[in-house]
Every structure is written in structure tokens, then in C-alpha cells.
Structure 1
Amino acid sequence: MRSVVYSEAGDAAAVARVEDVPEARAPGAGEVQVAVRVSPVHRGDLVGTSRALPGGASIRALGTEAAGVVTAVGESVSTPRVGDRVAVFPAVGAWSERVTVPAEFAVIVPETVSDEIASIALVNSVTSRDVMRAVEELRSTAAAPDGAPLVVSAAASAVGKLIVRQAVDQGWEVIAVVRSDRSAATVRTHFPDVPVVVTQDERWQRNLARLIDGRPVPVITDAHGGPFVKEILPFLADAGTLVVWGDLAAQPWTLTTSDLLMRELNVRAVSISRWTHRPDDIRAADREAALELAARHPELLAVHATYPLEQLRDAIDAARTNGSGSALLTLN
């Protein structure tokens, strides 16, 4: 079968390649085999090639999330069944024609959800739910008043839009922070009642302060990172928490200890890489909720373009440079 692999550390565009590899192993007890139809190119997938291969390994398959059809099941598996369309995560080597994963990693896709949307329904939605759990806990601990706004930076990103959606559904006031007018237009299209602050405007800090209007802000969610962190921290209430779930800037923070110390500010990181350590019931609920969210709000899971494996380099370039939606690889 064909699979995207790499055998030496380096930039994904240089070291990732399509290769014929042995067929995926037959599913064992509690496992299913899935014929992959579509798999997204996440930025995290591309970062993975910068790390050396595990000890003794000569090759490693790329990809972590996919949508496809169950082709075989192992012993003791009652669901999903052969022929079911499923979304799978985590699925190491998802950029392959077939993958074998634990049955619990494969969730049945509703008929109303396309393969393309299903392929990006899990990672982004699960991340947003992990962020929301942290936000809810922190707001509760801080005894945040009902009128305390939640400031969401990177609100036009795939995960940012899902955070805004869930916060609005909770009845919270949300203030969206984005980098460009284009991103602001995206937020306004999906959430016309949510005020938006654009950081390219030199008056953005005054605009944000005006919207906050002196109210305490116990939590800000952020995926920009870099120098922006120092700029957004002053809007946190004393003892407030910055919930960090991404690093779009890919630059070092410019904080000093005193930036946090004097007002006892906190930083809490949320990473999809830790989600597999969550309790089984939480992970199961997250998977089901992710597909339900995809069915109700497919417009929040935007696809930029799809690429066959032969156009792997184009898909990688699109994943790195396009901000309007996900780049997908098509297989089978």
C-alpha cells in the first residue's frame, strides 16, 4: 500500500515522501482496520519530521487523523462494523491507504457529514473542548461574574472558531481578537454579534479596553504566542490565567518574571498531545461531541483544498501558508 513516510529528520517538504510499504497489519482483539479516504495535513504533523526517528526505527509514517471506511474488525469489537464510515484519531500513519487502530479511536460518522468534514472533525474540536474545560474550571475558581467576558485570540482559526461557538452557546460574552481584517471578516460572518478587535490596527489595545469596559477578565485563550503574549497580558485580571493552546507565531515569548509575578498571573497550556491521557469517558464524550458539532456547524470546519498523494508537496505548502481552511490528502 502507499503511505507518506520519512526516514531522516528535517523539514517535511524535503524529507516526506510517498512510498510503497507493507500492508497494514490485520486488526487484533479490540481493533479495526480502516481504508483511509481523506486525511488532513496538520501543522503538528509537519513539525513531527523535525524530530529524529525513535531508536531502531528506519522509517516512520506520517499523519494523525483521517476519515474512511472500516474494512475489518478484530475479536470482541461490536462497533464500529465493517462498512461503517468513521473518523479516526489518534491514527499514527493516517497518510496511508489503510490504518489499524483501537476500535475506541474510530467514531461512526453521521450520514449528513462528508468525508472531508469528518476528516478534520476530531483534532480541532477535541482541542477546543479541552480548552473549554480549562476555561470553565478557571472561571469557576475565580468566581467570575456572569458578565465577565472571555477574550479569545486567534478567534478566526479552526480551533478559535470552535471555542467561540461553544462559549457563545454557554451564554458567555465573547470578545474576539484577530490579526487581520480578513480574519475579522471570517469571525463576523460566523458570529455577527461577537465584537472583534484587529491587532493590525494601532489602536487595538484601546479598542479592546473599551469593549472590556473595566470588567474583570479572569481568562484569555491564546494561540498566537510570541511577542503578542506580553501585549495581551495587561488585559487579564489580577491572578487571571492565559490559556495557551497553540503557537502560530512560532517565536519566543518576550516576558520577564515580573510580568507575571507582580499580579500573580498564570499560564496554563492545553495540548492535543496530552488528550490521550484523559479519562476514557471524557475522550469518548469528546469524540461524540466533535461529530455532533460537525453535523450542526460544518461551516466552522473549513476545507481549503484536497490533494492526491502525488501532490504531497502542494498540500504541505498549503497547510503552511493558507489561512482559510485545511489542506487534505485524498487516498483510496
Structure 2
Amino acid sequence: MKSIVYRRHGEPSEVLTYEEIAAPAQPGANEVIVRVTKRMVHPIDGLAVRGIVPSPIPPTGAIPGGDGVGVVEQVGAAVGIAKGTRVMFFPVQGTWAERVTVPANLLIPLPDDVSDATACQIIINGITAIVLTRAALAADNHSGVTSPLLVTAAGSSVGRNVIALAQMRGHKVVALVRSDASATILSQSLAGIPVISTEHEGWPAAVAAACGPAPSVVIDPVGGDMTPKFLEVLADGGTLLTYGGLDARPSTISTIALTVRQHTLKGLNAYSWLATTTPEQRAAYIADLFEITRRSPHNFAEFREFPMTAAVEALSAAQATPRRGATILTSEV
């Protein structure tokens, strides 16, 4: 079968290859083999290939990807799912391949009204959005002050899903993006939500005007030089939830200001949901994800698809600014 492989860290254009590798062996008990049709291209995929995010490389080479959508082709013993079932799955390493072995407990059957392209946008990104939104609403309630959530990188898939979830729960949001061009694009699909660009120095004043009370929660994947600036606009006693580092540079934070203003800085990720939730809670999460696709279809309508032979171009597109929806790597011709 065909797969994307890298055997050393570096620039994707220099280290990624598209090659024939051995197909998965017969599935064991409680396993299935899935023919992968689509998978999202995430910023962390590029960081892993470059070695910025620690990721060991096996002797046979590493295959990018941690989630996907596809069709069950082979079923092992004690698996209660039929061949031909459309599924999404997470977390499963090495999904930038035509087929992958998946533990049965990580499979999520797809409703008929959710397409493969939509489904692959709500796996990691949707679960991340739910983890962030629940933490944000809990922190906001704890603060005792009702204020809009400040969502940075709001044009990203996670940002859009956070906004949709907050709206489902009747919570106000202020959206923050990194350029005027991104603000123009996002404003077209977020009626009634203030969208502010950080391209100009006066953006904190614009945030204050849009929020009213200073936001008690900021949700951010950018980091770097922006972290201390987000802490400055945060209300005293507020919480900054971070879920990534689009700016890989270290953040300079004053612990004096953190102490005096009693801020909380907390990191979250989608991978923790398996370890920190019950099966019943995970089922509720998934129901919420599918409901987002029905209530906010515009969040998933704009995306770009690339064949696996164009994986380098897909990674570049996923990092481009302004962003126009998701980047999807497809096995389909």
C-alpha cells in the first residue's frame, strides 16, 4: 500500500516521501483494518516532521497523522462492528497511509448525514473544541463574572468549533485573528460576533470595547510573543487556556503580574479526553460534535483537498495565512 514516510526530521519538502510499504497484517482480537479515505492536516503534523514536537522515528520510518476517516475492511475477533461501516477514529498514529490497524474502542461510526470531509474536520479539532469549551465555561462560572470568551486563532477549525459550541450554550464570544484579511473572511460567516485583528497595535482597546467586562477566559493556540499580551487583556483572576504553539518561540511571562493578578495558565489537548472521561461522557462529546455539523454547516463547507502525493503542498496550505477552512489529505482519486 502507499504511504507518506519520513526517516529523519527536517523540512517536509526534504524528508517526506510517497512510497510503497507493507500493508497491515490480519487484525487481532478487538482490532479492525480501516481503508482511510481522508485525514486532516494539522499544524502539529508539520511540527512533528520538523522535530519541533518530540516524535521518535522507528527504524522503518515514521508515518504522519493521528486521526482519520474511512471504511472498515477487515474485522478481528470480538469486534461488534460490520465490514463496510464508515467510521472516524482517534487517536491512531500513522494515518497518512492507505490502510491502518485501529483498536475497535477507538472507532466512531458515522451518521449518514455527516460526510467524510466534514467528519475528518471534527475528530481532533472537534474534540479539542469540546475540551476547551467545557474548561472555559467552568472557569468563567468560577470567576463569578459573566463575560464573553475571547477566542484567538478564531478562523481555525478549532476556533470555529469553540465558537459554535459556545453559541449552542448561549455564551457570548469575541473572536481574535492575526490579520485584517483573516478578519474580513471570518466576519462573513460569523454574523453578530465581533471579529478583531491583532495586526495593529490598538487591538487590546478594541477587545475591551467589544467585551465590556474584561474576558475571564482566553482560549489560545498561538503562544510566543502573544501570551503576555493575552494575559494583559484577561480579567484579574481569569484563566488563559492554551492548546498549542503556532508561534514556537518561548513566551516571556512576568510571574509577578501572574501572582498579583491571580491568573491561571492551563494547557489542554484532545488526547487527554480518553484518560479523563467515562464512556458515557465520550458518547455525549461525540453527540455534540455531530450536532455542531448540523447547526453550523458553514464551519465545514470551506476546505481544500490534496492527494497524498501532494502532502508537502498540503502542509504548506495548512500553515498559510489567511486561512480558508480545513486542509484535507485524501486517498481518493
TM-score normalised over the length of structure 2: 0.91
- Give the gaps of 5 or more residues in structure 1: none
Deviations 1:103-160 (A, max 9, x none): 2222122222222222222111000001012112212222334xx2221122121111
Cα distance between partner residues in 1 of 2:125 and 2:58: 32
- The code of the aligned residue for 1:58 comes to T
CA displacement 1:60-99 (0-9 Å, x = unmatched): 22211211111111122113x1111111211211111111
Q: CA deviation at 1:184?
A: 1.8
* 1:31-46 to 2 correspondences below 5 Å: 31-46=31-46
**Shift, 1:246, TM fit:** 2.3
In structure 1, distance between residues paired with 2:105 and 2:231: 39
- Partner of 1:255 in structure 2? 253
Aligned to 1:92: 93
Q: CA offset at residue 193 of structure 1?
A: 0.9
Q: Deviations over 1:195-238 (max 9, x none)?
A: 1222123322222222233x253211112211112222122221
Equivalent residue for 2:225? 227
Tell me: CA distance 1:312–1:156, structure 2 relative to 1, closer, same or farther (3 Å): closer
1:236 maps to which residue? 234
Structure 2 unmatched ranges of 5 or more: none
Q: Which one of 252, 269, 277 corresponds to residue 279 of structure 1?
A: 277
Match of 1:134 in 2: 135
Aligned counterparts of 2:175 and 2:318: Cα–Cα separation in 1: 23
Q: How many residues align?
A: 328
Q: CA deviation at 1:56?
A: 6.1
Q: Does 1:61 align with 2:63?
A: yes
Tell me the secondary structure at the aligned position of residue 190 of structure 1: coil
In structure 2, how many angstroms separate the alpha carbons of the residues matched to 1:236 and 1:78? 48
Counterpart in the other structure of 2:184:
185
Is 1:144 paired with 2:145?
yes
Aligned residue for 1:264?
Answer: 262
The 1:54/1:233 distance shift into structure 2, 3 A limit, reads closer
Q: Distance in 1 between matches of 2:173 and 2:104?
A: 37
What letter matches 1:239 in structure 2?
G
Q: Which residue pairs with 2:297 in the alignment?
A: 298
Distance in 1, Cα, partners of 2:260 & 2:18 = 53
8 Å CA contact 1:303, 1:327 repeated in 2: no
- Structure 1's 55 and 8: CA in aligned 2 closer, same or farther, altered over 3 A? closer
Aligned partner of residue 237 in structure 2, secondary structure: coil
Secondary structure of 1:60's counterpart equals coil
Q: Structure 1 residues 262, 273: CA separation in 2 closer, same or farther (over 3 Å shift)?
A: same
What percent of counterpart residues are identical? 32
Picking from 73, 76, 100, the partner of 1:74 is 76
CA distance in 2, matches of 1:56, 1:33: 21
SS at match of 1:252: coil
Q: Which runs of structure 1 show a deviation greater than 6 angstroms over 4 or more consecutive aligned residues?
A: none
Greater Cα shift, 314-323 or 34-43: 314-323
Q: Contact conserved, 2:48 with 2:55, CA < 8 A, in 1?
A: no
